[in-house]
Amino acid sequence: FFCDEEEHFIADSKDHNAAFWVDLLKSLYEHGLYLESNLEFTRRSGNHLISDAVGLFMLGVFFRQTEKGSEWVATAKEILEHEIIRQTYPDGVDYEMSIAYHRMVTEMFLTTYILAEINRIGFSLRFRDRLLRMVEFILYYMRPNNQAPLIGDSDDGRLFWFNPDEDFNDHTSVLSLAAAFFERRDFKREGDRFSEQALWLVGTNGWEVFQRLRAKDEAIPSRLFRDSQFVIMRTPTMHCIVDCGELGKEGWGGHGHNDTLGFEFYANGVTFISDSGTICYTANPSLRNEMRSTKAHNTVMVDGVELADFAGVFKVEADHTHPKILQWDSSNVEDILVAEHYAYKTRLQQPLTHNRMFVFEKKYQRLTVIDKLSGTGTHTAEIYFHLCPNAEVVKSSYNRIHVLAPQSSQRMDVDYERTDEEMFISPGILAPRYGVGEQNKVLIFRKKFTDKMTFKTIFSIPPVA
- Which CATH number does the domain housing residue 275 bear? 2.70.98.70
Tell whether 218 is covered by a domain: no
User: What value does the mean pLDDT of the chain take?
Assistant: 93
CA–CA separation, 431 and 151 (whole Å): 11
Per cent of the chain over pLDDT 70 is 95
pLDDT of residue 292: 97
Structural Rg of the chain based on CA atoms: 24
Q: Residue 366 forms beta bridges with which residues?
A: 361, 460
Determine the longest span between alpha carbons in the chain, in angstroms. 80
In terms of C-beta density within 10 A (0-12 exposed, 13-18 middle, 19 or more buried), how is residue 393 classed? Answer: middle
pLDDT at 157 over 70: yes
pLDDT at 189 over 80: no
294 shares its domain with 383: yes
167 shares its domain with 265: no
Domain range for 26:
2-212
The residue from 212, 239, 262 where one domain ends is 212
Measured N-to-C along each axis, helices 67-86 and 99-118 cross at an angle, to the nearest 10 degrees, of 140
254 shares its domain with 366: yes
The residue from 147, 182, 212 where one domain ends is 212
For residue 76, the domain's CATH number is 1.50.10.100
67 shares its domain with 104: yes
Tell whether 158 is covered by a domain: yes
CA–CA separation, 318 and 101 (whole Å): 22
pLDDT of residue 465: 64
CA–CA separation, 197 and 110 (whole Å): 12
CA–CA separation, 462 and 46 (whole Å): 44
- Count structural domains, the chain: 2
Highest mean pLDDT among 206-215, 393-402, 437-446: 437-446
47 shares its domain with 187: yes
CA–CA separation, 276 and 102 (whole Å): 18
450 shares its domain with 367: yes
193 shares its domain with 231: no
Q: Quickly count: other Cβ atoms within 10 Å of residue 22's Cβ.
A: 10
Lowest mean pLDDT across 21-30, 129-138, 273-282, 451-460: 21-30
CA–CA separation, 187 and 178 (whole Å): 7
Tell whether 179 is covered by a domain: yes
38 shares its domain with 148: yes
The residue from 212, 244, 263 where one domain ends is 212
Tell whether 465 is covered by a domain: no
CA–CA separation, 108 and 121 (whole Å): 16
Q: How far is CA 373 from CA 284, 328, 352, in A?
A: 34, 20, 6
Q: Residue 362 forms beta bridges with which residues?
A: none
327 shares its domain with 405: yes
CA–CA separation, 299 and 358 (whole Å): 12
Tell whether 47 is covered by a domain: yes
Tell whether 217 is covered by a domain: no
The arithmetic mean of pLDDT across residues 219-239, rounded, is 98
pLDDT of residue 10: 52
Are the beta carbons of 107 and 174 closer than 8 angstroms?
yes
pLDDT of residue 420: 63
278 shares its domain with 201: no
> What b/e readout covers 136-175, taking b as 16+ CB neighbours within 10 angstroms?
bbbbbbbbbebbbbbbbbbeebebeeeeeeeebbbbbbbb
106 shares its domain with 155: yes
17 confidence band (pLDDT: 50, 70, 90): confident
Q: How far is CA 197 from CA 55, 106, 140, in A?
A: 17, 13, 20
- What secondary structure letter does DSSP report for 97? -
pLDDT at 351 over 80: yes
The arithmetic mean of pLDDT across residues 298-324, rounded, is 97
Nearest in space to 379 (alpha carbons), one of 453, 303, 304 = 303
Q: Quickly count: other Cβ atoms within 10 Å of residue 78's Cβ.
A: 11
Backbone angles phi, psi at 82, to 5 degrees: -75, -45
180 shares its domain with 128: yes
Cα-Cα-Cα-Cα torsion 312, 315, 317, 319, nearest 10 degrees, comes to 150
pLDDT of residue 1: 46
193 confidence band (pLDDT: 50, 70, 90): confident
